[in-house]
Amino acid sequence: GAGVSQSPRYKVAKRGQDVALRCDPISGHVSLFWYQQALGQGPEFLTYFQNEAQLDKSGLPSDRFFAERPEGSVSTLKIQRTQQEDSAVYLCASSSANPWADSNQPQHFGDGTRLSIL
């Protein structure tokens, strides 16, 4: 079956430009996560949605980062006025876990968007 799909796969932008990264989770998955992975490091949490509700955005590094999931399926991570330190791989993960059923379901990851800021 289809897994988590992220687009674009690669994105190059000039410093100061705005970018939008898309995540299509596995169909029916309630939970959706965004992570940022710098070169040579493990992924770091950015934000978490349960359906359309953003329940945790504690990992967003600045107010230039904004995420949304308006209909509880596709999610977009937007970065405004990009800086060179924003260069990283941005990973999206989804899970079928929800508070009303078996909640300990694994997070399934997409292959990420590699963002390079020049």
Partner 1 sequence: DAKTTQPPSMDCAEGRAANLPCNHSTISGNEYVYWYRQIHSQGPQYIIHGLKNNETNEMASLIITEDRKSSTLILPHATLRDTAVYYCIVGGDFGNEKLTFGTGTRLTIIP
Q: Which residues bind partner 1 (CB under 8 A)?
A: 4, 31, 33, 35, 41-45, 48, 50, 56, 59, 91, 93, 95-99, 103-112
Question: Nearest approach, Cβ of 81 to partner 1 (angstroms)?
Answer: 26
Name 53's Cβ contacts closer than 8 Å, sequence gap at least 6: none
Question: Nearest approach, Cβ of 7 to partner 1 (angstroms)?
Answer: 13
Q: Answer yes or no: are the C-beta atoms of 94 and 32 closer than 8 Å.
A: yes
Q: Answer yes or no: are the C-beta atoms of 41 and 20 closer than 8 Å.
A: no
Q: Which is nearer to partner 1, 55 or 118 (CB)?
A: 55
Q: Which is nearer to partner 1, 17 or 51 (CB)?
A: 51
The encoded tokens of residue 72 equal: 């509880």
Q: Which is nearer to partner 1, 82 or 110 (CB)?
A: 110
Measuring CA to CA, which residue among 79, 70, 57, 71 is closest to residue 13? 79
Question: Nearest approach, Cβ of 97 to partner 1 (angstroms)?
Answer: 2
